[in-house]
Amino acid sequence: AKSSGRNGYAFFDQILHEQVRTRVEIEQALRGALDRGELSVHYQPIVDLANDELTGFEALMRWDHPQLGRVSPLEFIPIAEDTGLIVEYGAWLLEEAANQLVRWRAARADDLPPLHISVNISVRQLRDSALVGVVRRALRRTGLPASTLWLEITESGVMEDPETALATLRALRALGVRLAIDDFGTGYASLNYLRSIPARIVKIDRSFVAGVGEGSHNEAIVKAVVAMAHALGQRVVAEGVETVVQRDWLRAYGCDLVQGWLYGAPRSADAQVAWMDRTATA
């Protein structure tokens, strides 16, 4: 019993040690990631349910480290937030994605609707007084029309410090960019705050999209969110749409836009172009 106890502790120690090392190692490695050229941007299509046409993309950060491999954003974004690195990396991604969109828009046929780009803004960025200037500069330097830039913010991002956040959001709105409430339903914001966020778009989190069309309780929630958003003049994007059943149900219940593996996973800009060409001729 004694030795198994010791082994038990040794095992526990090892797990603890590995977790700590991983976190510290990731943090260490993340510090130089941008300078070493390890960050990139992937783009995921957003599609209009009314006509199945591409309307734009969400830009998602990717990090490939020579030893750690590809680290999930779910793992490194929180660390980038804690360390404050997200401020620099987020500004880089914003300009990178805006540049890419300007190129795609120039290459797009005139009779097609102009593409938009959606960029995630973290809590930390929203608290940074320089954010409005960063966005303004990115628009000026890339020439991207402000109305085609969507900034995705989360309820928790606003709730952390509502007064400052709302002032920043109003300043961003004054630039002409569009605000989208991301992961809707997963945070703890009161309806009162949600109403005061000047957002044009609501993105329903994929945990609520799961099971729609199959009698899930989520159906009632999605219907209610669509009704509320439409009453407030907002458009609704459903995230994580993976099946035709989900898509057909979302279309029948008035959801406006969809995003998910059914229409395409996030891909590099080059891979995205190949995909667009293929689907355009399909």
For Ca ion, the closer CB: 120 or 148 = 120
Question: By rule CB under 6 A, what string of x and - marks binding of each residue 183-212 to ligand C2E?
Answer: x----------------------x------
The nearest distance, CB 61 to ligand C2E, in angstroms, is: 3
38 binds, among ligand C2E, Ca ion, none (CB under 5 to 8 A by kind): none
Shortest distance, position 130 Cβ to ligand C2E, whole Å: 15
Residues 79-118 that bind ligand C2E (CB under 6 A): 86, 90, 93
| 74 sits near ligand C2E (criterion: CB under 6 A) | yes
Q: Is 254 in the site for ligand C2E (CB under 6 A)?
A: no
Contact pick of 212, 266, 269, 272 for ligand C2E (by CB under 6 A): 266
C-beta of 237: minimal distance to Ca ion in Å?
9
Q: Which of 38, 96, 128, 183 binds Ca ion (CB under 5 A)?
A: 183
HEC string of the chain equals: CHHHHHHHHHHHHHHHHHHHHHHHHHHHHHHCCCCCCCEEEEEEEEEECCCCEEEEEEEEEEEEECCCEEECHHHHHHHHHHHCHHHHHHHHHHHHHHHHHHHHHHHCCCCCCCCEEEEECCHHHHHCCCHHHHHHHHHHHHCCCHHHEEEEEEHHHHHCCHHHHHHHHHHHHHHCCEEEEEEECCCCCCHHHHHHCCCCEEEECHHHHCCCCCCCCHHHHHHHHHHHHHHCCCEEEECCCCCHHHHHHHHHCCCCEECCCCCCCCECHHHHHHHHHHHHHC
Give the residue, chosen from 96, 128, 182, 256, that forms a contact with ligand C2E under the rule CB under 6 A. 182
In the complex, the residues that contact Ca ion under the rule CB under 5 A are 120, 152, 182-183, 239
